Every structure is written in structure tokens, then in C-alpha cells.
Amino acid sequence: MKNIIYCDFDGTITKEDTLRKFFTLFTGDKWLEAEQLWIEGQINSQECLISELNLIKNISQKELEEFLETIEIDEYFCEFYKFIKNRNYDFVILSDGFDLFIESVLKRYNLSDIPFYSNALKLNNNKLSVSFPNSNPNCLRSSGTCKCSKITRPDFYYIGDGVSDVCIAKKAQTLFAKHNLKKYCDENKIDYVSFKSFKDILNYFADRGGFNAKVEGIRIR
């Protein structure tokens, strides 16, 4: 049976939190009110995203595409993905973000073979709307995408950075964490491997697998 790695997208694979950058660009700081209510647990993820999108009254296809062209991924992610793919690991993105964003970014970096689960974003008549095909009524956080429900077996790796990762983080065999997820793990005594970029994760797998290789810019021992 293949090893499997599940991974967050926004702020984990991408250099910046894509949603934060998007809503800041098109709403200023108006979106922060709903975001804070979500962080505090007063509204769920679905309510938060709907409220934030409703702040954007008009957006064109061109504006959306121009924004997506600004999204960059971790400079070591492609090397990491090639490395694990060649060593029989499955890799799946679990995101509480938007499919249009993920599809666009993966395509630009020639990574369209990566499967993912996310919320579904539509643009019709310059108006954005979202649906939640991967929600779960039993989700403890009422997330748009219930990440825990997508786990196919108990022994998995997980890579994440934020609030949407806290439930699945508790279940991972090995957890890689940064930013707010790392802080949450410290506060709740959850074991994790700290990382700053996919260079750190790549070297982790290389060291433990006994591999001897050299990836661009990385010495794998």
C-alpha cells in the first residue's frame, strides 16, 4: 500500500494565503470582520466564506485571472512533489479554499495531475458564488471542506499552516506545521515537525528514507 500525504493549499503550497490576498485586494479590510468571527468560532467556515464573497459586488473574469497570475507557490514544492511521486507516495490537496484558484495555480506550474478537494467557486455575470460539495454535516468545525472525511486510512502524513487544519492535525501519523497551526499545536500539546518551506519537508523524507540524491538547491543526505 502506498504512503499518502495530505496537504493544505493556501499559505502552505502557496507562498501567501491566497484567500487573504484575494479578499484584501477586492474588499480592503471589510472581510476581516467575518474572518474574526470564524476564528472565534461564532460562525462556521461556510458562513464566513459566503459573507466575505458577498462583499465583492462586481468582479470580471479578467480581474480574477489577473489576480490568479500573481499567486506563487513555495519555491521547493515542485522538487518535493517530483521526489515523492518518484518514490510511490500518493499526494492529495485538502483545501477550504476555492477550486478555481487551485486549478489555475496548479495548471500554471504543470501540476494538474495532483488531485484535490475544495469548495466550488463560480463566476456568473461578474458575481461570485460558492458551493460546498465536500462538506459534511458531522464536521466538528462545519468547514466548507471537511478534511477529516477525505482520509482513506489512519496512517497518513499531513502538511498545514492554519485554522482549517486543526481537526485533521490531531489524526495525522506525522504532522508538518507552520504559522497558526504550529501555534495551535504548541498550545494543545500536539506533536509536529516544524517547517518553513518544502525544502525542510523534502529533507525530512530523504533522511528517513535513506535516499541519496541532489535536488536543485537542496543537498539530500
- Which amino acid is located at 70 in the chain? T
Strands 157-160 and 3-7, sheet pairing: parallel
179, three cell numbers: 504559522
User: CA 182, CA 66: separation in Å to the nearest integer?
Assistant: 32
Has domain 3-208 been given CATH number 3.40.50.1000? yes
User: CA 213, CA 221: separation in Å to the nearest integer?
Assistant: 7
The continuous run of DSSP H or E covering 54 comes out as helix 45-54
C-alpha 95, offset from chain centre = 5
User: CA 107, CA 167: separation in Å to the nearest integer?
Assistant: 29
The one-digit pLDDT tens for each residue of the chain (221 residues) are: 679 999 999 999 999 999 999 999 999 999 999 999 988 889 999 999 999 999 999 999 999 999 999 999 999 999 999 999 999 899 999 999 999 999 999 999 999 999 999 999 999 999 999 999 999 998 887 899 999 999 988 899 999 999 899 999 999 999 999 999 999 999 999 999 999 999 999 999 988 764 444 444 443 33
User: CA 161, CA 177: separation in Å to the nearest integer?
Assistant: 6
| Domain residue ranges of the chain, discontinuous segments joined by + | 3-208
61, three cell numbers: 473574469
**Quick check: pTM over 0.85?**
yes
- Which amino acid is located at 7 in the chain? C
